[in-house]
Structure 1
Amino acid sequence: MQKVESNWFASWFDTPYYHILYKDRDHKEAQLFMDNITQYLNLPEQAKVLDLACGKGRHSIYLNQLGYDVTGADLSSNSIEAASKFENSTLQFKIHDMREPFEEKYDAIFNLFTSFGYFNDAEDNLKTLTAIKNSLNEFGFAVMDFMNVDFVIPNLVAEETKVVDGITFDIKRYYKDKHIFKEIRFTDQNESYFFTEKVSALTLDDFQDLMDQAGIYLLDVFGDYKLNKFSPASSPRLIMIFK
C-alpha cells in the first residue's frame, strides 16, 4: 500500500487521484465568488492578481477572463503543468511555496478553498501570512477563503463512499488535536492507496492572533460566497479581507 509522506499535501496534491476525487467541484459557485469579491475590492483594470495555491487554475483562469493580469502559484508541479496549458500574455503559472514571498508586488492576493493550515509546524502558518503581506503592493488587499471550523466540526460527515471514474474512494473524517483529518482509501489497478488530509482547525480568533503577530490588518469578514455576514454558528465559510 502506498502511504502519504510527512508533508501530505506534497504527495497527495501531486497525484492524479486528488483531481479525480474532486473533479465535481462547483465552478459556477467559484465564479460567483470571484465576481462578488472582485467587485467588493473594486480592483483597477488589469490589476495584478496572485492566486496562491491555485491547483489546476480554475480561479486563475476565470480571474484572467475578467480582465486581470493573473499569476497562479502552487507547490504541485503536476497541477502547474496542467494549468500552464491555459497561459497567455496576462496569465502565468509557476511552482511556488506559499511560505516564501514573491519579488513582484500584487494588487490582490487570493488564497481560496481552504488552502491554508496544511503544515506540520504551526510557525509556517505565520510565515505564510507574512509572505502574503510582503507580496502586496501599497494599496493591495488579500483574501483568504477558509472553512468555518465552528460550523464544520459539528457537521462533519464521519464516513462516506464516493465512486468517481470507476474508483471507489472510502473517506473518513474526524477532529483531533486541533486538526480536521480526512482519511482517503482506494484501490486502482490492484494497487491500494491511503492518504490523509490534515488541516489546522483555525478559528477567526486564531487568525486574528496570527495577523496581529504578522502586523496584518483584518478589514472585513464574510460567511459565504455571496458575501453575507459571518456567523460562527451557521456560516459555511470564513472569508477574510486583510492587508
Structure 2
Amino acid sequence: MSTILNSHSQTDNQQSSWYESWFDTKYYHILYKDRNYREAQVFMDNLTHYLNLPEKAKVLDLACGKGRHSIYLNQLGFDVIGADLSENSIVEAKKNENDSLHFVVHDMRESYEEKFDAIFNLFTSFGYFENEEDNLQTLVAIKESLSEYGFAVIDFMNVHQVIANLIPEETKTVDDIDFHIKRFVLDGFIIKQIDFEADGKSFHFEEKVKAFTLEDFQKMMDEAGIYLLDTFGDYKLKKFHKNTSERLIMIFK
C-alpha cells in the first residue's frame, strides 16, 4: 500500500510530509520489493481491455513510483507519462524512457495542460493529505486532465475489509533489516508505523492514509463534478462487496 507520512531518523528531528520522505528512501523500496507485480500486470490487462482504450492512447500513471507499471502500460502499446512527487523515484524511472514513455516529477493536486485518454491512480496512492481540500483538489485535477472521452481509475483499498483484518503488530525481515510494524486507526486515518535500524541509524516512518469509503468518494466526486461509472472489488474486476472485497476500484469520467 502506498501511503502518506511524517518521517524522520531519530538522529534528525526535521520532519516533512511522509510521502515526500518515506517514498524517497531506499528502505521503502526494500520493504515492499516482494509486491506481486504479475498480479498488477493482470490488473492492467483487464483494465485496459475493459476501457477499450485505442492503440497509442495517452495514459497518465499518477503516483507511478519507479515506473514499473508505466513501463508495462507502454509495452501494451500506449503513450505513457509516469508522474510522481518522489524525485529519487523519477530519476530511477527515467532510465526506461523512450519516444512513448516519459517520467516527470509532479504533484497530483495540479492538473496537466495536455489531456489524457486515461488516468490511472493505482495501489492506494490517494488519501495521503491531512487537508480534505487537497484530496478534493486531486480529483478536480484528474478531471481537468482528462480528454472529452477519457476515463480515470482510482484503485483504493477497501477500508471495511482492511480495518476488519488489521494486523496490529508484526516484524518483517527483508535484506537483513527487521522492520517493526504497527497498524491502527486514528482520527479517520489508517496508520502504519515502521521502526527499524539500518546503516548504523534508527529510523521511524509513519504511513497515513485516509480511510475513505465508497460513500466518501461518491460525495467528493459529486463535489468535483465527476461521474462514477463503475466499481470493482479486485484486480480481476469482480463486483465490489463492501465487507469482503480486497479492493475498491472506481472508474469515472
Normalised-by-shorter TM-score class: over 0.9
Deviation at 1:6, TM superposition (A): 4.1
Q: Distance in 2 between matches of 1:84 and 1:158?
A: 37
Q: Share of identical aligned residues, percent? A: 68
Query: What is the aligned partner in structure 1 of residue 57 from structure 2?
Result: 47
Choose which of 131, 138, 142 in structure 1 pairs with 2:148: 138
Q: What is the SS of the residue equivalent to 1:98?
A: coil
Q: What is the SS of the residue equivalent to 2:192?
A: strand
Contact 1:223 1:231 in 2 (8 A): yes
Q: What is the SS of the residue equivalent to 2:24?
A: coil
Specify the code of the residue in structure 1 equivalent to 2:237. L
The Cα RMSD (Å) is 0.9
Deviation at 1:5, TM superposition (A): 2.4
Choose which of 111, 120, 144 in structure 2 pairs with 1:101: 111
Q: Distance in 2 between matches of 1:108 and 1:95?
A: 19
| Structure 1 segment 5-44 matched on structure 2, within 5 A | 5-44=15-54
Deviation at 1:4, TM superposition (A): 7.5
Query: What is the aligned partner in structure 2 of residue 163 from structure 1?
Result: 173
Alignment pair present for 1:90 and 2:100: yes
Contact 1:7 1:120 in 2 (8 A): no
Query: What is the aligned partner in structure 2 of residue 221 from structure 1?
Result: 231
Specify the code of the residue in structure 1 equivalent to 2:110. E
Q: Distance in 2 between matches of 1:32 and 1:212?
A: 30
Contact 1:4 1:12 in 2 (8 A): no
Q: What is the SS of the residue equivalent to 2:72?
A: helix
Contact 1:106 1:135 in 2 (8 A): yes
Query: What is the TM-score of this pair, normalised by structure 2?
Result: 0.95
Q: What is the SS of the residue equivalent to 1:24?
A: coil
| Structure 1 segment 139-218 matched on structure 2, within 5 A | 139-218=149-228
Please identify runs of 4+ aligned residues in structure 1 that moved more than 3 A: none
Q: Distance in 1 between matches of 2:43 and 2:166?
A: 23
Instruction: Specify every segment of 5 or more residues in structure 2 that has no aligned partner in the other structure, as ranges.
Output: 1-9
Instruction: Specify every segment of 5 or more residues in structure 1 that has no aligned partner in the other structure, as ranges.
Output: none
Choose which of 83, 86, 89 in structure 2 pairs with 1:76: 86
Q: What is the SS of the residue equivalent to 2:27?
A: helix
Q: What is the SS of the residue equivalent to 1:13?
A: helix
Q: What is the SS of the residue equivalent to 1:192?
A: strand
Deviation at 1:160, TM superposition (A): 1.1
Q: Distance in 1 between matches of 2:199 and 2:74?
A: 38
- How many residues of Structure 1 are paired with residues of Structure 2 in the alignment? 243
Deviation at 1:3, TM superposition (A): 6.0
Q: Distance in 1 between matches of 2:50 and 2:14?
A: 39
- Seen in structure 2, the aligned counterparts of structure 1 residues 59 and 4 have a Cα distance that, compared at 3 Å, is farther
Query: What is the aligned partner in structure 1 of residue 4 from structure 2?
Result: none
Q: Distance in 2 between matches of 1:4 and 1:217?
A: 41
Give CA deviations for 1:134-154 in whole Å, capped at 9, x if unaligned.
000000000000000011101
Specify the code of the residue in structure 2 equivalent to 1:56. K
Deviation at 1:166, TM superposition (A): 1.1
Give CA deviations for 1:38-91 in whole Å, capped at 9, x if unaligned.
000000000000000000011100000000000000000000001110100000
